[in-house]
């Protein structure tokens, strides 16, 4: 879909100049969409928590042991677990012990392949509606609703095959409520309901 929206002016753009388009017009279809979190894989939880919490001022909102890996959800000091679905500025850290010998890269290092950056997460009022919207934009759905196959969880093969244990049932329950799509460059985008059913 090409845009005629003045908020997305076509190039070419003048070198060295900020292009500041007018604000995007409001849209009832996306009025409640917001960037919620980013996910990174980490090697050492102690070092990562010290950096993000002690150095940058975030707090641990919750920790979840999914079996083969542990999730650390971080946010601003005014965020609690009850407000995660409507919060902004969250960071999800995945510690995957099976990755101890896997190189993580930022995604900006073209000289070496590896994994590091995981996905961008958006909370949406209705994940099914958001998936329909993504499809209308011609983009790929990686993981639809109501599925929780370990092969969809972006883990190494030996983790998926159960070498390090089974994925916790509670995580599978939550995972079924989420969806993943690809952006135009192939980056994963997670669609999360504003309220997770427990």
**CA dist., res. 152 & res. 89, Å (int):** 25
Comparing CA positions, the residue from 133, 138, 125, 142 lying closest to residue 189 is 142
Q: 66 is written with which tokens?
A: 């999914």
Q: What's the token pair of residue 10?
A: 């076509």
pLDDT at 175: 92
pLDDT of residue 111: 60
pLDDT for 1: 45
Domains recognised in the chain with CATH numbers: 28-193 (3.10.180.10)
Q: Which two tokens stand for residue 102?
A: 């896997």
- Cα separation, 130 vs 33, in Å, equals 9
Three-state secondary structure call for residue 193: strand
Question: Which stretches of the chain drop beneath a pLDDT of 70?
Answer: 1-3, 105-115
Instruction: Kindly tell me the number of DSSP H helices and DSSP E strands found in the chain.
Output: 4, 8
Residues designated catalytic: 190
Say how far apart CA 150 and CA 153 lie, in whole Å. 5
pLDDT at residue 115 in the model:
67
125: left (phi over 0), alpha (psi -120 to 50) or beta: alpha
For residue range 118-146, what is the model confidence (pLDDT) as tens digits?
888 889 999 999 999 999 989 899 999 99
Neighbouring-strand partners of residue 72: 63, 93
């Amino acid at each position: 879909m090409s845009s005629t929206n003045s908020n997305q002016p076509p190039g070419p753009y003048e070198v060295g100049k900020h292009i500041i388009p007018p604000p995007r017009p409001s849209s009832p279809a996306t009025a409640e969409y917001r960037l919620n979190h980013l996910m990174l894989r980490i090697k050492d939880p102690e070092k990562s928590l010290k950096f993000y919490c002690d150095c940058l001022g975030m707090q641990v909102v919750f920790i979840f042991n999914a079996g083969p890996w542990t999730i650390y959800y971080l946010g601003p000091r005014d965020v609690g677990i009850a407000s995660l679905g409507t919060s902004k500025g969250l960071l999800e850290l995945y510690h995957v012990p099976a990755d101890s010998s896997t190189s993580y890269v930022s995604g900006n290092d073209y000289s070496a392949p590896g994994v590091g950056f995981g996905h961008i997460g958006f909370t949406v009022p209705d994940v099914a509606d958001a998936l329909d919207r993504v499809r209308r934009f011609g983009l790929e759905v990686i993981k639809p609703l109501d599925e929780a196959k370990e092969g969809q969880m972006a883990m190494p093969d030996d983790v998926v095959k159960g070498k390090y244990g089974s994925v916790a049932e509670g995580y599978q329950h939550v995972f079924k409520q989420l969806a993943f799509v690809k952006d135009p460059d192939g980056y994963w985008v997670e669609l999360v309901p504003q309220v997770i059913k427990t």
